[in-house]
Amino acid sequence: MKKIGIIDYGMGNLHSVENAFKYIGADCFISEDKAELSRADGLILPGVGAFPDASERLNALSFPEFIKEETAKKPLLGICLGMQLLFEKSYEFRECEGLGYIKGSVVRLKAGENDKTYKIPHIGYNALKSVNPSPLTKDIPDGSCFYFVHSYMGQCLDRSQLVSVTEYGEEVTAIVSSGNVYGTQFHPEKSGDTGLKLLSNFVELLG
Q: Please indicate whether residue 122 is annotated as part of the active site.
A: no
- Pairing between strand 145-150 and 171-178? unpaired
From 28, 70, 150, 187, the catalytic residue = 187
Instruction: Please pick, among 18, 70, 92, 189, the residue that the annotation labels catalytic.
Output: 189
Cβ contacts of 12-19, under 8 Å, gap ≥ 24: 12/46, 12/47, 12/48, 12/79, 12/81, 12/82, 13/46, 13/48, 13/187, 13/189, 14/46, 16/187, 16/189, 16/190, 17/44, 17/46, 17/79, 17/189, 19/189
Catalytic residue among 80, 96, 150, 156: 80
163: left (phi over 0), alpha (psi -120 to 50) or beta: alpha
Q: Is 80 a catalytic residue?
A: yes
Q: Assess contact for 177 and 161: CB atoms under 8 A.
A: yes
Q: What's the distance, CA 22 to chain centroid?
A: 19
State yes or no: is 70 an active-site residue: no
| Burial environment of residue 34 by CB neighbours within 10 A (0 to 12, 13 to 18, 19 or more) | middle
| Residues with a known catalytic role | 80, 187, 189
